[in-house]
Chain A
Amino acid sequence: MIILAQDGTAIKPAVAKAIQNGVPVIAYDRLIEDPKALYITFDNVLVGKLEAQAVFKAKGTGNFAIIKGNKADANADFLRSGMDQVIGDAVKSGAIKIVGETYTDNWDPAKAQTNMEQILTANQNKVDAVLSENDGMAGGVIAALTAQGLAGKVPVSGQDGDKAALNRVALGTQTVDVWKDARLLGKTAGEAAMQLCNNSDPSKVKGTAAFKTPGGNSLSSILLTPNPITKDNLKDVLDAGWITKADLCQGVAAGKVSVCG
């Protein structure tokens, strides 16, 4: 059974029942807190790290805002811990000040936009960088920055390889879009499922490693490596056939970005 859980804790009883009945369970992209499930995802801690690295490279000091995802989704915290690996020291030394940090119900971009507006208001626009955990919310953040004439001046992160976000990377309003090729995720999950049919022990699936969950469980997992897309490697998504040139380059002025011509 391949499950994409909206809430990794709430689904536990159902998953436990499936496993008791001998049905192997794959937690697809979202964690399920059951030690017998096989967790296949892009390494979300790494995603958070890559997001923060790109923003940190653009802006190493100053006031940071952090727009996190849904509080019930473990990924929101994984991403946050990855970010901390990059900016943690600078925060401790005082070089970076976190002026706003908030969860966003349902990863809702509209709520992210409202939250960003309020953070900007509270700080009289003195926000130097925004770590947004995904592309949708980055869209909301950038809409709030645009209203203050700050879009493109404040680095913003995101992930998912959303086409609109890749277009924003080309336009220069979003700094990085950590791309997790969903096709790779699907392929890996499919292959793992085939192996589980022969042997239901998840730890015997090729390429697994032990994974410590926030709930204190240890389960087998396959963590895939994501690809951070910035203005410099937009070619990757074009070459992979993930996005058309028309979509990627819509509204981009000629000569600004090499792949758009």
Chain B
Amino acid sequence: MGATVPGEASAEGAPARSFLTTISSALAPVTGVVRSLEIDTRMLGMIGALIVIWVSFNIVSGGTFLTARNLWNLSVQSASIAIMATGMVLVIVSRNIDLSVGSMLGFLGYTMAMFQAVWIPQSLGLGFEQPFTWVLTLVIGIALGAAIGGLQGFIVAYGGVPSFIVTLGGLLVWRGLIFRYAQGQTIAPLDTTFQMLGGGTVGTRVGALGEWPSWTLGVVMCVAIVYVMISSRRRRRRYAFPVRAIWAELLVGAVTCGAVLGIVLVANSYPLPVNVAIQYAEEHGIAIPPGGLFIPTGVAFPVVIMLIVTLVVTFLATRRRFGRYVYAIGGNPDAAALAGINVRRTIMLTFALMGSLAAVSAAVQTARLNAAVTNLGVQNELDVISAAVIGGTSFSGGIGTVPGAILGAVVMQSLRSGMVLLLVDSPTQDIVVGIVLVAAVGLDAVVRRRVN
């Protein structure tokens, strides 16, 4: 039950309390504004933390961190973990855990690689580079992911075996299966169209949207955000419910839209690398201007996939019965059962969803690497769980959001990428990420006790 039980506040030490009182009284005008904006304060805190991390790295790295190129890299590097973190939120919210995601990812990535590099071209004799290869591979991978995730979920929900045990077993089994049939060999190269899913480059084809499609995507998303805001306001009006102040509405809309268009602007500020651009110019018969050729890269496909997954999983979590039931089960499993919810089926479905998201991430990771290797996804479960938890998902169940987990993934990858930029070696990175994980959750627990 953890942080949300008001009675636990007494466990907290007096110094922390007075310190927090000072802070909260100093922030009183700010909290008033936040309240009328009706936004999640935790989300706001995370965005603040992210900005601090980014600005600090930018200063220390002498301005490299906040370049379009580094941010573009960061977005691609975060995508795979972020995609899985959205599913992990639902698994943890329903009071379960999935330790097998890294191994599932490896197994699914390996299978998808075999499918496109061996089975379709060689076993079926259809040859390499078929136009349908990438989509067929992806669909089969996702279906297989849903099946093996669902199998684990079935054992958890209907077999009554704790998810910790089932997925710990899964962690060993799926990894073992890779070694069994890979025999240590790497599967590469992959289908060139499939490689686009990873945001990589093949010749002059880049796994990104390019300039105008990126702007289009940004504008479409903005319109959608505004539409959702207006229609929900209308609906509340129709029922004569209180609505938020119009200035708050406008501010939230402007900031959200600004963020979306800002991401597009950054992605379009990252030009194709010189060598790729020159080759592109040669192929398309473009004369290279004296100042060099600037071809915007646009939003990378892994990021586009991450956005789609975020929208879909957020929709499932907040707008569908399935999501409502997941949260209800996490809040009070007995109450959910007494309300007539099919608890077992719901839990099985969260694991199936997790499996299919592991497949999507597997596609992104293998495509990006242009290979499936036996240690693909090793220890990814730790990153995925950390992202969800840094993003505010509570192990006591019932609490957690999909956008929070995405932010959590970005925070973690920012720390890692930033430290590599500064030539900090991996042991130190682990120490820093570990401290941040504990600090984030600890701070959250303290703040939540204050709120209750």
Contacts and interface: CB of A to CB of B under 8 A. Distances in A.
A118 B417 contact: yes
Interface string A126-170: 000000000110011001001111100100000000111101000
Contact of B275 (A71, A109, A148): A148
Contact of A139 (B64, B199, B373, B426): B373
Given A110-B368, A143-B369, A162-B186, A102 B426 contact: yes
Interface stretch (B33-41, B255-263, B374-382): B374-382
B292 to A, nearest CB: 13
A108 interface: yes
A71 B378 contact: no
A85 B423 CA distance: 23
Is chain A's interface secondary structure helix, strand, loop, or mixed overall?
A: helix
A143 to B, nearest CB: 5
A243 to B, nearest CB: 10
Contacts of B427: 71, 103
A80 to B, nearest CB: 13
Given A100-B423, A122-B64, A146 B370 contact: yes
Contact of B188 (A103, A122, A139): A139
Taking residues whose C-beta sits less than 8 angstroms from the other chain, chain A's interface range is 35 or more
Contacts of A108: 375, 378-379
A32 interface: no
A121 B202 CA distance: 19
Interface in B166-206: 185-189, 199-202
Interface in B418-434: 420-421, 423, 425-427, 430
Given A110-B365, A118-B420, A122-B61, A149 B189 contact: no
Contacts of B365: 110
Given A121-B67, A148-B276, A163-B186, A102 B371 contact: no
Contact of B370 (A136, A143, A149, A153): A143
Interface string B24-53: 000000000000000000000000000000
A259 B371 CA distance: 24
Interface of A: 71, 100-111, 113-115, 117-119, 121-122, 125, 135-136, 139-140, 143, 146-150, 153, 162-165, 167, 250-251
Interface of B: 61, 64, 67, 69-70, 73, 77, 80, 128, 185-189, 199-202, 273-279, 365, 368-371, 373, 375-379, 416-417, 420-421, 423, 425-427, 430
Given A139-B188, A164-B187, A167-B188, 16 more contacts: A71-B425, A71-B426, A101-B423, A102-B425, A106-B378, A113-B368, A117-B77, A121-B69, A121-B70, A121-B421, A135-B186, A139-B186, A146-B200, A147-B201, A147-B273, A149-B279
